[in-house]
């Protein structure tokens, strides 16, 4: 769909595959599909991911209505729960978490303690507010120059150093769609080994309690987005608005990657 080769199978099978082979896992939400036309870096990360799951019930629904084809849906929440069920998740140091805030870090550690996962503060990294520069103890001008030379809109040399020292088997990124995929792509391209890099967005916040959880019944019938919108319409209405362009993209492009809009 839209040039993305989505995984066909169960959440357990997807986790088993990426655990064996490593690489970048993406789960694009409905509004994020629009960025395939507008954001070259996001487009590159999604199109070149090692495993993509059809997390968006909105996209799956309109694919079925408009293209008369069934697309296997695996939600980010289901994938994350399947990841936490594998034996690797219980081995100290195997999971590394990239989080959006200190609050998210606290919630993650509380969840880990309550659930019996051997996760410490050293297994967590609170990400900076990324822009077109790398994060570290150098000047802003130097960070911009390095980032432009590498061709990445998001770069974080300090994070690379930490991950290389710890070498976790799984990296879980929960910093929001549109940004996390670019960070995941950057990590995959710059690390000296090949961990599984999971860009799961809100799934982590739902499970740890950083955001109000989505019931699994709602997740199964594609209504997770609706519950989030109903709970906080002022917060999510603007964010979800681009998703209404998605049916038109599916109708126009089908299986092809949408044309990139070049703006001057």
In a domain, 94, yes or no: yes
Summary mean pLDDT of the chain: 83
What pLDDT is stored for residue 139 in this prediction?
Answer: 43
| Tens-place pLDDT, residues 41-98 | 999 999 999 999 998 888 888 898 898 888 888 988 889 999 999 999 999 999 999 9
C-alpha 236 chain-centroid distance:
18
The tens digit of pLDDT for each residue in 112-150 reads: 999 999 999 999 999 998 864 434 433 444 444 444 445
> Do the domain assignments include residue 185?
yes
5 domain residue, yes or no: no
Burial label for 182, CB within 10 Å (0-12, 13-18, 19+), is buried
Question: Is there a domain that residue 260 lies in?
Answer: no
Residue 63 falls inside a structural domain = yes
Q: Is 3 among the domain residues? A: no
Residue 17 has pLDDT above 60, yes or no: yes
Residue 52 lies in a domain: yes
Q: Which uninterrupted H or E stretch holds 212?
A: none
Average pLDDT over residues 20-30: 93
The closest of 175, 145, 177 to 159, measured between CA atoms, is 175
Please state the domain count of the chain: 1
Q: Tell me the Cα Rg of the chain.
A: 18
User: Residue 161 has what pLDDT?
Assistant: 97
Separation CA 168–CA 93 (nearest Å):
6
Domain limits at 245? 11-253
> Does residue 177 lie in a domain region?
yes
For 188-211, what is each residue's pLDDT tens digit?
Answer: 999 999 999 999 877 777 777 655
Distance CA 35, CA 151 (A): 18
The pLDDT assigned to 131 comes to 66
């Amino acid at each position: 769909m839209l040039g993305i080769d989505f995984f066909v199978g169960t959440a357990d099978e997807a986790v088993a595959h990426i655990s064996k082979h490593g690489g970048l896992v993406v789960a694009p939400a409905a509004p994020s599909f629009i960025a395939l036309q507008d954001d070259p870096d996001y487009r590159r990360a999604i199109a070149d991911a090692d495993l993509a799951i059809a997390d968006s019930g909105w996209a799956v629904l309109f694919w079925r209505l408009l293209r008369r084809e069934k697309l296997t849906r695996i939600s980010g929440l289901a994938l994350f729960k399947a990841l936490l069920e594998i034996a690797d998740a219980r081995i100290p140091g195997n999971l590394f978490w990239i989080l959006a805030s200190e609050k998210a870090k606290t919630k993650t550690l509380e969840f880990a303690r309550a659930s019996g996962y051997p996760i410490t503060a050293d297994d967590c990294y609170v990400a900076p507010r990324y822009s077109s520069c790398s994060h570290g103890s150098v000047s802003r001008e130097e960070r911009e120059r390095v980032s432009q030379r590498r061709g990445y809109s998001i770069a974080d040399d300090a994070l690379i150093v930490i991950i290389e020292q710890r070498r976790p088997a799984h990296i879980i990124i929960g910093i929001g769609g549109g940004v996390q995929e670019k960070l995941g792509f950057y990590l995959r391209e710059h690390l000296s080994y090949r961990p599984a890099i999971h860009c799961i967005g809100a799934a982590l916040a739902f499970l740890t309690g950083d955001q109000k959880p989505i019931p699994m019944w709602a997740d199964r019938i594609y209504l997770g987005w609706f519950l989030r919108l109903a709970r906080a319409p002022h917060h999510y209405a603007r964010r979800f608005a681009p998703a209404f362009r998605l049916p038109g993209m599916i109708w126009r492009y089908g299986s092809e990657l949408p044309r990139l809009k070049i703006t001057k």
